[in-house]
Amino acid sequence: MLQIFTLRVLYNEELLTLNKIIKAMKRLFILLALLCVAFATEAKRPSFPHMYAHRGSWSKNAEGEFVIPENSVAAVAAAKRMGYEGIECDVHYTKDGRMVILHDATLNRTCRLSGDYSRLDKPVYLNQLTFEELRRDYVLESADPALRTPVPTLEELLEECKVQGIVPMLHSDLMESYHVAQRMFGNDWICFTGGVEHLKKVREFSDCTILLAINDGTAEENIARLKQIGGHCGISTMNYSLYTPEFCKALTDAGYEVQASIFPAPYEAYAQRNGITYQLTDFSYMPTKRKADGKLTVYTGWYNKLGLGSRTKRFTPTEKLDYAGCVVKIKMRKRAIKEPEFDLGDVKIGCVDVEFDGRKYEIEHRGKETIYIGRRLMDGAGSKVQTRESHINNKTCVKKIQQYFYYL
């Protein structure tokens, strides 16, 4: 009897162990299945361009006065907070050959007198000032007294880029400025200017990313230009009519970058959708992190049940947002709905209208895809975001629209 009892105990223990193994294997199988789904979802995510803040992430108040000055150390820090990958800056010489960060030939638009903070009543040219005069007599315009700092040197701005961990894009013709960037960043910076022969000289001492400024030309013609430069390079233009889906695809398939340079709304969003890889922007917004670091408000599913007409969602902040961003995420369906024989009103069938403070984006249906449109919002007390689409009997091209608001 003792032997039989012992055998039964062992048998039961073996069954118990086997059951545990089976349960563990089931859990492992479920975990692997979830991981496969996660990887499949990740693979379906759209690719976003590298977002660079034009002259840093500057801002102005309702009166048109700078709050965060452009091309300033503060604008570099703000770009980091907003989630930009890097900043673009303009480099020029003073009269005595010091390299400083300023866009215009004159100081009038961006600077004030350092003594009484009064405006400059006559043109003051940078190349007629010594470095000592520039730093002693003038400060950057800002509604915030703490940000009324002198025009920064190239080294000061690049040092802030290192501190913030973002990439500098030098819009400069000064070969000396490229050597400074190469010394401070190695190859982790971007050279952005025109002239193939000029850029071939940069390539002799640097393997940095080079963006050739262009105004025209076919994809094939621009590929031929880039082959002369060699290495990791691409093109950049302010001519938004160039960047068709076919043009972008030809460049990127050949291994080259395509930058949209300060396109006006709504062409900034169209360029993203058409396949650009870099975006230099004043206001377009697509944070590196898809979730906000601070407060986040998300809107989904707001539609009425009308059989015919348009759907609208408006958002106006109830609290003042001095500096914030909004991203609208639009999920399109695979099939378009049939165009009616009658007029639906203000929004075309098959389109979504997105409006940021009066700037309108009309997004046409191209099949199943996810589209992101983002803008920085300044002086948020008056900011308004509105999305609209037409529908027939509650059928639309759009599956879902979400609005993400980023508070800083």
pLDDT tens-digit series, residues 324-337: 677 777 888 886 65
Tokens in use for 37?
């789904």
Residues 6+ apart with CB under 8 A from 101: 71, 72, 89, 90, 91, 151, 152, 153, 154, 156, 157
Q: By percentage, how much of the chain surpasses pLDDT 70?
A: 69
User: For the ranges 72-81, 102-111, 244-253, 380-389, which has the lowest average pLDDT?
Assistant: 380-389
Among candidate residues 51, 146, 136, 130, the one with its CA nearest the CA of residue 97:
130
- Using CA atoms, how far apart are residues 20 and 195, in angstroms rounded to an integer? 70
User: 120: closest CA among 101, 139, 94?
Assistant: 139
Q: In this predicted structure, what is the pLDDT of residue 40?
A: 41
Lowest-pLDDT choice from 71-85, 110-124, 295-309: 295-309
Higher pLDDT, 57 or 31: 57
Q: Please tell me the least confidently modeled range out of 129-143, 231-245, 348-362.
A: 348-362
**Res 313: pLDDT:** 54
Report pLDDT for 102.
Answer: 98
pLDDT for res 179: 98
Whether pLDDT at 142 is above 90 = yes
Lowest mean pLDDT among 239-243, 253-257, 285-289, 374-378: 285-289
22-56 pLDDT per residue, tens: 666 666 666 665 555 444 433 333 467 999 999 99
* CATH number listed for the domain at residues 50-281: 3.20.20.190
Fold of the domain spanning 296-407: Jelly Rolls (2.60.120)
The DSSP output letter for 126 is: G
* Strand 190-193 relative to strand 296-299, pairing: unpaired
Condensed to tens digits (0 to 9), the pLDDT of residues 327-379 reads 777 888 886 655 554 444 555 656 777 777 677 888 887 888 888 888 886 65
Q: What is the pLDDT of residue 390?
A: 61
